Amino acid sequence: MKKINWVKWLSIVFFLIPMLFILLFPFIVMISTSFKTLREVSQIPPTFIPRAPTLENYREVWNIIPLAKHFRNSLFLGFGEMAIVLFLGIPAAYSLCRFRFAGRGPYMIFLLFTQMFPPVVMILGIFRLVAAYGLVDNLAVVAVIAASFNLAFCIWLLTGYFSAIPPEIEEAAMMDGHSRIGAMLKMTLPLSWPGLIAVGIFAFMDGWNEFLFSLTFIRTQEFLPLTIGLYRFNTRFQIQWNNLMTGAFLATIIVVALFMLVQDKLTRGMVAISEK
Amino acid sequence: MSVVICKDLVKRFGDSLAVDHVNVEIQNGEFMVFVGPSGCGKTTTLRMIAGLESITSGEIRIDAKVVNDVAPRNRDIAMVFQNYALYPHYKVSGNIGYPLRRRRVPKAEIDKRVHEVARMLDVERLLDRWPRQLSGGERQRVALGRAIIRNPSVFLMDEPLSNLDAKLRVQMRREIIRLQRVLGTTTIYVTHDQVEAMTMGDRIMVLRFGRIQQIGPPEQLYNSPANMFVGGFIGSPAMNVAAGRLEGSADGLTLVTRSGRLPLPPQTVARLGADGAAAGPREVMWGIRAEDIRLGPAPAAGGNGLDMRATVDLVEGLGSDAYVSLALSGDNIVARTPADARPAENETVGVQINANKLHLFDAKTEETLLS
């Protein structure tokens, strides 16, 4: 008879399952609440499984707020921030990684230093600047500002990925007929794509979850992202938890679906790189 | 095939001078080896020829054309790197054929050439594998294949064998020599291993602190080193060097060492020239190779050499030969003897130095005194 590994089973039962439950608890509550009525949500003691599950919240959320537009705006912010961060971050990180120039070390530290200011400290100054140029109510501006607060961190991340690629591979490509930029595009970028995807996802998530700048710079309903759209369920007199959780669930499911789409490739890419 | 000329080549990294006025002409089809210790500027010189490093001052010509500002891809040279630098995201066939793909050669022609080269390097069975699935030797062959497929006018090789184990290194060394002879392409090979330099190069350029110490065929460097550094760097074990004094006498010139006096033979005096042979004591460094020392019963007598007594410190057997470390009146020297004639450790032996094979260097400048 096969011997039972008690240590393994005990650690699963007493450590992993409780841990998993703690981690998933907010998500379980979110999903459960999205199928409850507002009345049931405010009931004491609270119910874990809805007594009378309903899809009414989903219909209501769709009708009360322009969910499709909010989705579109959030996607714009997510992909916009991702594009800006990658477009500016790749050449910056590549230069910092491959070229030796005076002040390179202090500049890297300076980049980190820029990350130390919470955006809210600068929001007033930025608002005055944006208003002076008449750029209030412009989603692209929100994407640019949000990206600028993330860029330094992403450059640091990308520098790490690029450093792992031996420069001789690029030099060999340059001998074989590429320019430096060609060698970077054909060798370094394809070889560091798991890093690019990681940074891209990070930037996308930041854009998708963007709240502060949208709340400050966007006035028109038409341009509000999902985060601010859902904020409307937080009214002066009550929080409509059922609708809020339904919106939050819909917002989360998109990101989860996107991640699942690239996860397999991401893992395989990481394994391939580690085998080099 | 091409002629490569470096004229007054200088490279600075900030305040440090990595390459100091290097002047060398590499002939058509020649196998030139740049050799020297770490940090001597050999790889930097190679990288400047490749176009991967900018030039501080001076000139590089390939076939009479100044290429200082020509991009690496337009110099018609191929390079093999120390860590092979294979493209991990291309299979072996993709790696070998890559330079041709960049030059828009038709696919059928690429396939044909890839198979030809792969056959030549015995990697045809590996064409469908990824670089990560290859051994070190196989990767090196693929890197060579990628270099030779487009018939470049110059090959540059930057310590291509240093990541291989000793046995494979000897095998690949022979293959590179054979390949270069077959293709006849001008080749510049960088190594810190003097054995590689001696066995592979038609000529060797020895560098130290960015400066050329000597350029010449291996035998010339071995038999007539230009200075003490070359004498010590080329050859294994290193040349024995000790302090001495040249004194003139009625019989001619005599080398006075810590162990005794050695009259210099006429041919050595003739090689000294007027300056070196000038009467009056002169402080020198004298050098002798391990194989130019004969060991015998103590004390050995007669012959054209200096008879001395020495104590055996250590004996290192190599199979056919043995290196014998000797304590000789305050100097430590190494002699090479046949293995079956090796003395025992702590034994007192007679040491006979072949005066015809003596090397004499200026004590201050360390330059050779022999022409």
Query: A147 in a domain, yes or no?
Result: yes
Which of the residues B62, B74, B84, B89 would you substitute to probe the A interface, choosing the one with the greatest number of A C-beta atoms within 10 Å?
Answer: B89
Query: B14 in a domain, yes or no?
Result: yes
**Banded model confidence at residue B304, pLDDT cuts 50, 70, 90:** very low
> Is the same domain home to B204 and B347?
no
Residue B103 has its nearest CB partner, among A166, A175, A177, at A177
Residue B226 clears pLDDT 70, i.e. is over it:
yes
Query: A23 in a domain, yes or no?
Result: no
CB contact A270 to B (< 8 Å): no
* Region of poorest pLDDT, from B211-220, B268-277, B308-317: B268-277
Check CB contact under 8 Å for A172 and B88: no
Residue A276 clears pLDDT 50, i.e. is over it:
no
Tell me the two tokens of residue A172: 């060999």
B323, B290 Cβ separation under 8 angstroms: yes
**Banded model confidence at residue B278, pLDDT cuts 50, 70, 90:** low
pLDDT of residue B307: 65
Residue B289 clears pLDDT 90, i.e. is over it:
yes
Give the containing element (helix H, strand E) for B306: strand B305-317
B237, B285 Cβ separation under 8 angstroms: no
CATH code for the domain of A173: 1.10.3720.10
> Is the same domain home to B145 and B293?
no
Question: Residue B336 pairs with which residues in a beta bridge?
Answer: B323
B310, B353 Cβ separation under 8 angstroms: no
CA angle A145, A149, A151 (to 5 degrees): 105
Query: B371 in a domain, yes or no?
Result: no
CATH code for the domain of B101: 3.40.50.300
> Is the same domain home to B169 and B310?
no
Kindly list the residues from chain A whose CB atom is less than 8 angstroms away from the CB atom of residue B97: none
Which of the residues A168, A169, A170, A176 would you substitute to probe the B interface, choosing the one with the greatest number of B C-beta atoms within 10 Å?
Answer: A176
pLDDT single digits (tens) A85-127: 999 999 999 999 999 888 999 999 998 888 888 888 889 999 9
Residue B85 has its nearest CB partner, among A169, A177, A272, at A169
Domain that holds residue B273: 240-362
Question: Can you tell me the mean pLDDT for A259-274?
Answer: 66
CATH code for the domain of B271: 2.40.50.140
Q: What does the buried/exposed string (b/e) look like for B118-127 if buried means 16 or more CB atoms within 10 Å of the residue's CB? A: bebbebeebb
Tell me the two tokens of residue A185: 């595009």
Name the A residues in 38-67 with CB < 8 Å from any B CB: none
**Banded model confidence at residue A145, pLDDT cuts 50, 70, 90:** very high
Check CB contact under 8 Å for B50 and A190: no
Residue B77 has its nearest CB partner, among A175, A191, A275, at A175
Query: B179 in a domain, yes or no?
Result: yes
Question: Can you tell me the mean pLDDT for A189-206?
Answer: 90
Check CB contact under 8 Å for A171 and B72: yes
Query: A14 in a domain, yes or no?
Result: no
Query: A120 in a domain, yes or no?
Result: yes
CB contact A191 to B (< 8 Å): yes
Check CB contact under 8 Å for A168 and B77: no
Query: A276 in a domain, yes or no?
Result: no
pLDDT of residue B299: 60
**Banded model confidence at residue B355, pLDDT cuts 50, 70, 90:** confident
Check CB contact under 8 Å for B72 and A191: no
- In chain B, which residue's Cα lies nearest the Cα of A269? B89
Question: Can you tell me the mean pLDDT for A147-176?
Answer: 93
pTM: 0.82
Check CB contact under 8 Å for A174 and B52: yes
* Region of poorest pLDDT, from A118-127, B31-40, B299-308: B299-308
Query: A206 in a domain, yes or no?
Result: yes
Instruction: Looking at mean pLDDT, say which of A36-50, A74-88, B271-285 comes out highest.
Output: A74-88
- Dmax (CA) for chain A in angstroms is 78
CB contact A172 to B (< 8 Å): yes
- What is the spatial distance between Cα A107 and Cα A105, in angstroms, rounded to a whole number? 5
pLDDT of residue B302: 41
pLDDT single digits (tens) B47-94: 999 999 999 999 999 998 999 999 999 999 999 999 999 999 999 999
Check CB contact under 8 Å for A172 and B132: no
pLDDT of residue B340: 86
Q: How many domains in chain A? A: 1
pLDDT of residue A185: 94
Kindly list the residues from chain A whose CB atom is less than 8 angstroms away from the CB atom of residue B79: 171-172, 175
pLDDT of residue A44: 83
Name the A residues in 118-137 with CB < 8 Å from any B CB: none
Query: B41 in a domain, yes or no?
Result: yes
Query: A256 in a domain, yes or no?
Result: no
Average pLDDT over chain A, rounded to an integer: 88
Which of the residues B16, B70, B81, B140 would you substitute to probe the A interface, choosing the one with the greatest number of A C-beta atoms within 10 Å?
Answer: B81
pLDDT single digits (tens) B105-125: 999 999 999 999 999 888 999
Please name the amino acid found at residue B6: C
- What is the spatial distance between Cα A266 and Cα B360, in angstroms, rounded to a whole number? 67
Question: Can you tell me the mean pLDDT for A46-63?
Answer: 84
- Distance (Å) from the alpha carbon of A166 to chain B's nearest alpha carbon: 8
Check CB contact under 8 Å for A175 and B88: no
Counting one residue from chain A and one from chain B, the pairs whose CB atoms sit within 8 A come to: 58
Residue B79 has its nearest CB partner, among A172, A190, A276, at A172
pLDDT of residue B260: 79
CB contact A181 to B (< 8 Å): no
For residues A44 and A170, the model is more confident at: A170
Question: Can you tell me the mean pLDDT for A17-30?
Answer: 92
- In chain B, which residue's Cα lies nearest the Cα of A101? B14
> Any idea what DSSP says for residue B292?
G
Question: Is the preceding peptide bond at B299 cis, omega within 30 degrees of 0?
Answer: yes
Average pLDDT over chain B, rounded to an integer: 89
Query: B370 in a domain, yes or no?
Result: no
pLDDT of residue B206: 96
Residue B73 has its nearest CB partner, among A178, A190, A191, at A178
Q: How many domains in chain B? A: 2
Mapped to the 3 state alphabet, what secondary structure does B88-141 carry?
Answer: CCCCHHHHHHHHHHHCCCCHHHHHHHHHHHHHHCCCHHHCCCCHHHCCHHHHHH
CB contact A98 to B (< 8 Å): no
pLDDT single digits (tens) B130-183: 999 999 889 999 999 999 998 899 999 999 998 888 888 898 899 899 989 998
Check CB contact under 8 Å for A191 and B83: no
Question: Can you tell me the mean pLDDT for A34-43?
Answer: 84
Kindly list the residues from chain A whose CB atom is less than 8 angstroms away from the CB atom of residue B52: 171, 174-175
> Is the same domain home to B331 and B356?
yes
CA dist B348 → B127, B214, B289, B292, B345 (Å): 61, 38, 20, 19, 9
> Is the same domain home to B189 and B284?
no
% of chain A beyond a pLDDT of 70: 95
Check CB contact under 8 Å for B50 and A175: yes
Tell me the two tokens of residue B32: 């030139």
Handedness of CA B180, B185, B191, B193 (dihedral sign): positive
Residue A174 has its nearest CB partner, among B72, B86, B98, at B72
Domain that holds residue A89: 65-232
Tell me the two tokens of residue A64: 């009360």
> Is the same domain home to B353 and B229?
no
CB contact A164 to B (< 8 Å): no
Question: Can you tell me the mean pLDDT for B172-200?
Answer: 92
- The ipTM assigned to this model is 0.85
> Is the same domain home to B225 and B262?
no
* Region of poorest pLDDT, from A161-175, A244-258, B9-23, B41-55: A244-258
CA dist B236 → A274, B42, B324 (Å): 40, 21, 13
Check CB contact under 8 Å for B81 and A172: yes
Kindly list the residues from chain A whose CB atom is less than 8 angstroms away from the CB atom of residue B98: 173, 176
Query: A7 in a domain, yes or no?
Result: no
pLDDT of residue B263: 84
Query: B94 in a domain, yes or no?
Result: yes
- What is the spatial distance between Cα B146 and Cα A3, in angstroms, rounded to a whole number? 55
- What is the spatial distance between Cα B68 and Cα A150, in angstroms, rounded to a whole number? 41
**Banded model confidence at residue A269, pLDDT cuts 50, 70, 90:** low
Please name the amino acid found at residue B201: G
